[in-house]
Amino acid sequence: MLVPGTPAQVVYADSDEHTEEGHITESAEVRVAMVQKRLRKAQALRKEITPPLVFPGTEEEVYVISWGSTLGLVREAVELLRVKGRKIGSIHFTDVFPLNEDCLPPHIIKNARLIAVEQNATGQFAQLLKAETGIAVKDMILKYDGRPFTPGYLLNEIEGCMRK
C-alpha cells in the first residue's frame, strides 16, 4: 500500500458509497446523489427534533443545561436551589443532534447565565451547542471519574459557579 506523499507515485482514495439498492459503487454521480439525500434527511430531522425541556419557565437568571441521564439529578439540584430562593432553572436536551439555531428562547440566550453539566472531560455537548447554534455556555461542571453525579455534589458545584 502506498503512503500519501510518496514521491513519483499516485495514491487513489475512494469511498465505499452505495447505490439506492445498497450496492457498492465508485460512481461520482451516485456519490453526489447519496450525499444530497443524506443532507435532505438532516434538514428533515431538524424539523422533527424534540425541543429541550425548560423548567420551570423562561424567566430565570441561571439555567443548568443537561442531556442524557443527568435529567433527574439536575432537576433535583435546581429544585433545592429554588427552595433557597435562587432564580434558577434547567434546560434538558433529549435529542442532541442536529440542533436548531432557535432551540432556546431568545430571552434565555440574551439574559441568562448558562451552566452545562456533563459527564465527560471536555464539555462535548456545550461545544456542539456553540458550533451548531452559536450559543455559548459560560460555565461547565464536568465529571469524568467514572462515578455519577450526586445531587449534593452538583448543588455545591452550581453554587460555586453562581458565586463567580
Q: Could you read off the pLDDT tens digit of each residue along the chain, which spans 164 residues?
A: 677 778 887 765 556 788 888 788 888 999 999 999 999 998 888 888 889 999 998 889 999 999 999 999 999 999 999 999 999 999 999 998 888 888 888 888 888 999 999 999 999 999 999 999 999 998 999 999 999 999 899 999 999 999 88
Query: Do 79 and 126 fall into the same domain?
Result: yes
Domain count, the chain: 2
Q: Which helix (H) or strand (E) holds 67?
A: strand 62-67
What is residue 129's predicted lDDT score, i.e. its pLDDT? 94
Domain residue limits at 66? 53-163
Query: Do 23 and 86 fall into the same domain?
Result: no
What is residue 135's predicted lDDT score, i.e. its pLDDT? 92
Query: Do 92 and 70 fall into the same domain?
Result: yes
What is residue 98's predicted lDDT score, i.e. its pLDDT? 87
Task: List the alpha helices (DSSP H) in the chain.
Answer: 28-48, 71-83, 106-111, 124-133, 151-163
Provide the angle, in degrees to the nearest 10, between the axes of the packed helices 151-163 and 71-83: 60
- CB under 8 Å to 132, separation ≥6 — which residues? 97, 98, 99, 101
* Interatomic CA distance for residues 122 and 116, integer angstroms: 11
Residues 56, 62, 65, 70, CA torsion sign: negative
